[in-house]
Structure 1
């Protein structure tokens, strides 16, 4: 039986939102988000920021139909040229995405479908920092209908939202017998990781498990390429940690998971 926690619920219902209601984010929601972002920045050493009412950043994407009414974003800012910074950004910014999901807001990670130069002009970025990515945020179109939907309906929509690789594909090299006898937390963690967003939905993260030592590690699929692999790694690690019911990851590709 799956653990029932708020963060697990958020994983089960989160989908990428492309169509937003033109209504502004409510002030109480904005305050909740800002408080969450401040706490996450303190923990992570990042410089995440909520930027509101900047339609110029998404003018072309809105005009093309890639987005509808996108105008707010979370700026994912961290240290320059830092793979660990990008991994931390994926891990901690996705924590904000899940919080926003619980607040009833829609979100979507953004890499290329925005004007990054215009976005940076709205942000506070120190000389030793860079803008990694953005996360669109706002009320989903027809959000009152969305908020009134039953959890089961939202969860079903998440399952049908996109194709996904299997647990077996996500833990390559394990035999069927090894999978059958694998600890429950491993399977729950991987299933949660498979619900994580990734660039172009490539799902480039793979897990390994050593039955002798009980050690779990996360890294990249052999064929994985792209600018956002470490960001994807951080996001997948957070989802795994939540699904597993606790524990701590070390940073880096191939780094181990320390079971709580």
Structure 2
């Protein structure tokens, strides 16, 4: 996918919990499995595709599959899970599928039993994937209203800002506003100081770091749309490429060169 296609998917994405009684086709499932395998190989993660996810849910309806988002018990793995998981979500959305990041409303114990993960691996979330119904269900409307009582603007995410953001950064932050996060909490704290944008989360060894990884990807898609190439450095600051311009693709993890 091109960056423009990722951008289109960001604008189209909505969390869906009501799916049609039609399972994914075998060709689509194979493509998703290949994406999962590529992520695991690139980022040393442990994503798993499950064809029939309905036994693990009670409030979701219809037929749907899921990707179990898992990896090592580290902060970096949590961020990578968010970054790469959202990349798959956007690819699915672009091609007309419904998706939902889920961190609490599924039977996690049953998933652990099904996967037999080693003790040093953790499940951080799951992503449901299916053909969404045309109209939102009552459950979807209720959950949306419960988690979107007050949307946090990107300006409210900044704890310090000593100058006006560059246009590309402001646009990238607009896409961060549109990034999914658990119960819509948007936990990333951003700073813009001396021309450098950086971020962090409280409790980095929690699933808040998954949200941070998702936010990082959205920001990169946004600034790339405005002609800025860059990466998130190990200290969680955004670094533009100067004379050495390196092509950005959302399939690359933050902090890695092409």
TM-score range, shorter-chain basis? Answer: 0.7 to 0.9
The answer on 1:185 being equivalent to 2:172 is: no
Indicate if the aligned counterparts of 1:57 and 1:71 stay in contact, CA closer than 8 A. no
The answer on 1:77 being equivalent to 2:70 is: yes
Q: Distance in 1 between matches of 2:31 and 2:116?
A: 20
Summarize the alignment of residues 30-109 of structure 1 with structure 2, pairs less than 5 Å apart. 30-58=29-57, 61-62=58-59, 67-69=60-62, 71-79=64-72, 81-109=73-101
Indicate if the aligned counterparts of 2:71 and 2:122 stay in contact, CA closer than 8 A. yes
Indicate if the aligned counterparts of 1:48 and 1:74 stay in contact, CA closer than 8 A. yes
- 4+ runs deviating over 6 angstroms: none
Structure 2 residue aligned with 1:229, among 185, 201, 208?
A: 208
Indicate if the aligned counterparts of 1:87 and 1:231 stay in contact, CA closer than 8 A. yes
Q: Aligned in 2, Cα 1:53/1:20: closer, same or farther, shift over 3 Å?
A: same
Shift, 1:70, TM fit: 5.5
Shift, 1:98, TM fit: 0.7
Q: Distance in 1 between matches of 2:63 and 2:111?
A: 12
Aligned alpha-carbon RMSD (Å): 2.6
Could you say which structure has the higher helix fraction?
1
Indicate if the aligned counterparts of 1:20 and 1:139 stay in contact, CA closer than 8 A. yes
Give per-residue Cα distances to partners, 1:225-247, cap 9 Å, x unaligned. 99421111111111111111142
Q: Which residue of 2 aligns with 1:153?
A: none
Q: Aligned in 2, Cα 1:28/1:232: closer, same or farther, shift over 3 Å?
A: same
Q: Which residue of 2 aligns with 1:204?
A: 187
Give per-residue Cα distances to partners, 1:77-135, cap 9 Å, x unaligned. 101x3122111111111111111111211111111101011122333623431222111
Q: Aligned in 2, Cα 1:127/1:237: closer, same or farther, shift over 3 Å?
A: same
Indicate if the aligned counterparts of 2:75 and 2:204 stay in contact, CA closer than 8 A. no
Q: Unaligned stretches of 5+ in structure 2?
A: 136-143, 242-258
Structure 2 residue aligned with 1:167, among 149, 154, 179?
A: 154
**What TM-score do the two structures reach when normalised by structure 2?**
0.79
Structure 2 residue aligned with 1:248, among 228, 231, 243?
A: 231
Q: Unaligned stretches of 5+ in structure 1?
A: 144-157
Count how many residue pairs are aligned between Structure 1 and Structure 2. 226
Indicate if the aligned counterparts of 2:13 and 2:90 stay in contact, CA closer than 8 A. yes
Q: Distance in 2 between matches of 1:69 and 1:233?
A: 30
Q: Aligned in 2, Cα 1:202/1:131: closer, same or farther, shift over 3 Å?
A: same
Q: Secondary structure at the match of 2:115?
A: coil
**What TM-score do the two structures reach when normalised by structure 1?**
0.78
